[in-house]
Chains A and B, each alone.
Chain A
Amino acid sequence: MKTDNNRAWFLILPVLLCVAFSAILPLMTVVNYSVQDILSPTQSVFVGTEWFKTVLRDADLHGALARQLVFSLAVLVVQIPLGILIALCMPAAGWRASLALVLIALPLLIPWNVVGTIWQIFGRGDIGLMGYGLNALGMQYNYNGNAMDAWMTVLVMDIWHWTPLVALLCYAGLRAIPDAYYQAARIDGASRFAVFRFIELPKMRNVLMIAVLLRFMDSFMIYTEPFVLTGGGPGNATTFLSQYLTQKAVGQFDLGPASAFSLIYFLIILLFCFVLYTWMQRVGTGDAT
């Protein structure tokens, strides 16, 4: 049970200084630009919500948003259970645990542009192991030409890249469960599944929450890896929201609409995360600690 103590603010202060300060400035800048039409570095006109309306009416945006939502949903649906499963399979102690930790973590350590680059070659039918292998199995696999293949490749690449994050979080969460719970479960005659359902899963609530929010956010903002791999193609089949924003900002828009888009982007993520957060808080326990 938490105690009331307003002096706890002193403990929070360092965090606030580091983060708040550096976050408010950009936010103010973005909000500022989003309501102005910047004709030149010295001339700008206040346009109110016009940019927001323009951006929201953009049909291409709707397409990118829809693709993004499907992608993020697929990411969550696959990576969370898979991560939990791997964490359950990893050894708890000894040299085997150390080895497993290092091997699992490797994909996370590669810079994201290199990830895209490797998969570019990896997926090619002529010079890449995966492409060649899939074609040899009889599939007509071509991630450059076929939209579905491109989607699957981007998805598999993301799963390869980021499931270890979920796995590591869940693994750490599992290790934090005291032995006594497992011992008590043995005495109670609980089955392996009961141990998972009544001990492990509830005790992983906190890490799972972080994993879900993190994966949602990061997948919703994904840019480098799919951009390097497919360039958003074929056509705009794998053009997700971040890439769309960049295309527009660099290509057509100026600072005004781009800022408005950024704000909307941010608010969408915020909304989804808030919903996920609130929902996950309620699920599982109803106690008031």
Chain B
Amino acid sequence: MMDKRIGTVLLIAFLLLSLLPIYWMVNMSFKTNEEITGTLSLWPQQLTFANYRTIFTDPSWYSGYLNSMLYVAMNMVFSVAVALPAAYAFSRYNFLGDKHLFFWLLTNRMTPPAVFLLPFFQLYSTVGLMDTHLAVALAHMVFNVPLAVWILEGFMSGIPREIDETAYIDGYGFPRFFVKIFLPMIKSGIGVTAFFCFMFSWVELLLARTLTSVNAKPIAATMTRTVSAAGMDWGVLAAAGVLTIVPGALVIWFVRHYIAKGFAMGRV
């Protein structure tokens, strides 16, 4: 189909443009700071692994990675788990204050996280959760849960109510219906929600840095230490950027079948 070919050409063109800065970042990560700030070179003239070595050998970098992955994973699971029933309620039921509540949820995303800084600091200090992964995972729920509820509600509303009712007639109990019939129908919604929860939590700097000090310090915070006495450590920053992409790429790889259709095997 003519149409498919144009589409592919457009997509490839966009991807090529989109990958240019990424390529540039990878390029930078293998260069020395002198080369980065000195010359324009399409590939490293003096290939160096020093930037990566800095990251891999420095224990705080390494643990920062693990810390980030831990609290982000926790946040993903909590956010989606909590959002699913709420989204179902908003999608299927009318109840007192539902429309206002739905919109109000999103308002939590309408302030810069900086506003939550001080109160969260005080709150988590009080309950003794400072410098824990749990604290960051919970704190990030403030902006991830509304997003998750909104996205999931949107997908759930796309499923006609008649499907629910038909399942009841066929004798399905609610839990079985929800897990075996309903959730698979909103697969793409769940996949994309999980990925966005991951993404927004992964790149969030301020709260993660403020609520942690040593034990749960995330990767993003350690990266801001790349301004050394000699000036900006461009190479290391670029290498850290490259390394931060990897887990995200893995996450989207894992949820790819949720977001996209699998092979179209055809039903009978």
Contact = CB atoms under 8 A, between A and B. Distances in A.
A–B touching in complex (CB under 8 Å): yes
B94 A119 contact: no
Given A102-B249, A111-B223, A274-B103, A12 B86 contact: yes
B261 A8 contact: no
Contact of B145 (A19, A100, A122, A171): A19
B195 A127 contact: no
A6 B93 CA distance: 8
A126 B226 CA distance: 23
A203 B157 CA distance: 10
B197 interface: no
Contact of B11 (A19, A89, A109): A89
A172 B110 CA distance: 24
A249 B207 CA distance: 18
A23 B109 CA distance: 10
Contacts of A132: 40
B141 A18 contact: yes
Given A5-B94, A122-B24, A109 B245 contact: yes
Majority secondary structure, B binding face = helix
| Of B40, B157, B191, B249, most A-chain CB atoms within 10 Å | B40
A117 B249 contact: no
A111 B139 contact: no
Contacts of A213: 106
A210 interface: yes
Interface in B81-134: 82-83, 85-86, 88-96, 98, 101, 103, 105-112, 115-116, 118-120, 123
Contacts, number: 277
A100 B103 CA distance: 33
B256 A109 contact: no
Majority secondary structure, A binding face = helix
B119 A110 contact: no
| Of B19, B91, B189, most A-chain CB atoms within 10 Å | B189
B173 interface: no
A176 B186 CA distance: 7
A106 B249 contact: yes
A66 interface: no
B118 A127 contact: no
A103 B22 CA distance: 10
B89 A12 contact: yes
B115 A97 contact: no
A29 B110 CA distance: 16
B151 A210 contact: yes
B77 interface: no
A113 B224 contact: yes
Nearest to B82: A14
A112 B92 contact: no
Given A111-B203, A114-B241, A15 B115 contact: no
A209 B157 CA distance: 13
Interface residues of B, number: 104
A117 B241 CA distance: 10
A277 B158 contact: no
B21 A107 contact: yes
A221 B112 contact: yes
Given A25-B123, A121-B24, A101 B95 contact: no
B93 A5 contact: yes
Nearest to B108: A23
Interface of B: 3, 7-8, 10-11, 14-15, 17-22, 24-25, 28, 36-40, 42, 78, 82-83, 85-86, 88-96, 98, 101, 103, 105-112, 115-116, 118-120, 123, 138-139, 141-142, 145-147, 149-151, 153-155, 157-158, 161, 185-186, 188-189, 191-192, 195-196, 199, 202-203, 205, 220, 223-224, 232, 234, 237-238, 240-241, 244-245, 247-249, 252-253, 256, 259-264
Interface of A: 1-9, 11-12, 14-15, 18-19, 22-23, 25-26, 29-30, 85-86, 88-94, 97-98, 100-114, 117-119, 121-122, 126-130, 132, 160, 164-165, 168-169, 171-173, 175-176, 192, 203, 206-207, 209-210, 213-214, 217, 221, 223-224, 242, 262, 265-266, 269-270, 273-274, 277
Given A6-B95, A118-B238, A168-B192, 13 more contacts: A12-B90, A30-B115, A85-B10, A104-B15, A105-B249, A109-B244, A111-B220, A129-B24, A130-B21, A160-B21, A169-B151, A172-B192, A266-B110
12 contacts: A4-B94, A5-B93, A26-B115, A93-B264, A101-B256, A102-B249, A106-B18, A109-B202, A110-B203, A117-B241, A121-B24, A168-B259
